[in-house]
A and B are shown apart, each in its own frame.
Chain A
């Protein structure tokens, strides 16, 4: 009896939330970017244990000479433990391919902004029940293990998108590196990111009341950014031991899920198991809000649009068109049209009034004359 009196019952709230979100399902948009041949598709297949790239046709070098960057979206529904995730993978084939890669990142920037615009419109629209969130929640940027850190193209791309999407830098095909080389490369990349003032996704600090083990693990994971990953969907049997996913070489077998071999497990844990929701929140609360603020500001002062676009939007791409110019939803369009009509009619009225007044005064003058 006493228990009933003191127990209100809102401790069950998280369960209710959980049940609701499970019913609703999650959607998550992940972008992978980087030069071709760094193992991006293999890693995605390994991360989510699917075969998203089955029907992919790789063009030859001569065809790639004139190819421009395209954006491809592939969707897959993954279900695990009763929870459904609608995963969209955005690919950027053609990035870094051509001999002249100047501005090759602009289509990517434009794509990310378009998703923000779409969401902004949906949010400001009349029917907000089923907003599809197609914003890019995370961008895995692949850095080549063969270079000596970030290349000029990497820096240019990251600077163009770091304020618009969560960036997680990743070193692809990490089995090209010996352990010492991996450490040196990671340190070099971290230094370069700091030097170029590129904001990558900051994994949030764990709460102070977590146990030591968890904190240590968390610190270790943060230390290993950028993640040096290897992907594989093939299962190899390593000399009698249990089958593992890996790559078989003549000198040994790399295991994808072995923490001594690569950071695949760390990446998977941080991306999927612990920080999926946080990535979405940061996208919504920080990146999207930043975009929205700058857009609305330019909308609120159409006369001073030129000035604002130069100062506030100068960081964004040159081809970005401020929101007012885009076609709005149907009802809003009607309202605006009616507004225009009213204004026009008002102007006409004023003009007619002015004319009448003029003719009156003229008539008076002629009267006096």
Chain B
């Protein structure tokens, strides 16, 4: 019935490293997309001209201050060039820092005299990643009863989220939004993933839901803060545990009309802080026409209100990225149906929902778009989600914190002063 294909992630990682090394910093924006086939082609080309590989730990060593632009898109932190003179030019506050000395490696004739073995780097890095494993933190937000836990369980094919319907019947809807993070380790093909599902019961369930997104925003910023503190430590851990929220699935109720005001408010406040992927929950109540009309209306409303969901248009760096992501953006938000029960259809056991008028198959693209969502989040963009979180959202937070603290990392300051509190992201409210 299909695998999660976590195995592809180490490959995605290695390939991106290769591309960076091949292209160098002055070629401007880097490829951040992770289309596997394209990356592979690049890697083949890169093999001919790549300089010797660097230690992946170079990721963490860069201590140069970033430019204070609101959305800096600096070169990937793992740049070996950080140690060279070229990188000193980054101190000049420019939106796109260009090194003074061009670093483009000299193009070697692709006819090598013999086999060196540089391409084994992929295998080495893959082995390393498989040993260490990696983290992925996914948050689910939406009114109670929209099938959040079921969908997460279906996505990862395991009981990673305890369904609220299996709770004790006396448990009532919490009065304020609670944040519950549950971690699981799932393994596939030798690749270990530490998956953390962050649930937000109580969101949107009260009569007065004013500011019910604040606990969520606070939690996300707290994770950034935790990571920042670890980063500026003098004695740092070899591998900083990453609890930052990489992806936030927002569940839209399938009313068929439009977004609810609460949906708008939430996404307005949080789309600049975390990657939001809106999904239309329980989509089995809409016919095909209703689905496409609703999706169009939702997309238009998001556009009109300036809300960018993942994959954000502003981070498409090249044409290939853009075309691929455009296609995805056109079909978002995905209309999904989740299920943890299996039924017999045409001799196969499929996950689905059985009603008197038919069986809805979760993985059938004619019925719902669950397969698209799964492929998108897990099989193609898992690594990209993490990278955008690390390079964009986390960097924005970090820059703000450093600015607030006068350019110094948090924890250092005038003796005895109190640190500024973890800030909430300001958000322009619609008039």
Contacts and interface: CB of A to CB of B under 8 A. Distances in A.
B210 A99 contact: yes
Nearest to B209: A99
B288 interface: yes
B353 A101 contact: no
A144 B360 CA distance: 21
A175 B301 contact: no
Given A147-B145, A249-B284, A261-B356, A58 B257 contact: yes
Contacts of B253: 37, 144, 146
B404 interface: no
Chain A interface SS verdict (over half) = loop
Interface string A67-99: 000000000000000000000000000000111
B264 interface: yes
A254 interface: yes
Given A37-B253, A65-B430, A146-B146, A252 B258 contact: no
B255 to A, nearest CB: 2
Given A37-B255, A62-B264, A252-B355, A144 B145 contact: yes
Interface string A243-257: 000011111111100
Contacts, number: 126
A38 B258 CA distance: 12
B365 to A, nearest CB: 10
B357 A146 contact: no
A261 B355 CA distance: 8
B358 interface: yes
Interface string A128-168: 00000000000000001111100111001000000000000
B355 A61 contact: no
A60 interface: yes
B89 interface: no
A12 to B, nearest CB: 48
Contacts of A144: 145, 253
Interface string A26-65: 0000000001111000000000000000000011111011
Interface stretch (B1-9, B21-29, B200-208): B200-208
Chain B interface SS verdict (over half) = loop
A242 interface: no
A303 B63 CA distance: 80
B357 A61 contact: no
B257 A147 contact: no
How many chain A residues sit at the interface, stated as a range, is: 35 or more
A65 to B, nearest CB: 4
Nearest to A188: B169
Given A58-B257, A99-B210, A99-B262, A248 B356 contact: no
B285 A175 contact: yes
B260 A97 contact: yes
B177 to A, nearest CB: 13
Interface of B: 143-147, 164-165, 173, 205-210, 253-265, 281-282, 284-285, 287-288, 297, 301, 304-305, 353-361, 366-367, 430
Given A60-B297, A175-B284, A252-B359, 16 more contacts: A37-B253, A60-B301, A62-B304, A101-B208, A102-B208, A144-B145, A144-B253, A146-B254, A147-B144, A147-B145, A156-B207, A175-B357, A250-B367, A252-B357, A252-B358, A253-B358
14 contacts: A35-B255, A58-B258, A62-B430, A65-B265, A97-B261, A99-B208, A151-B205, A152-B173, A152-B205, A175-B285, A178-B353, A250-B288, A251-B358, A261-B357
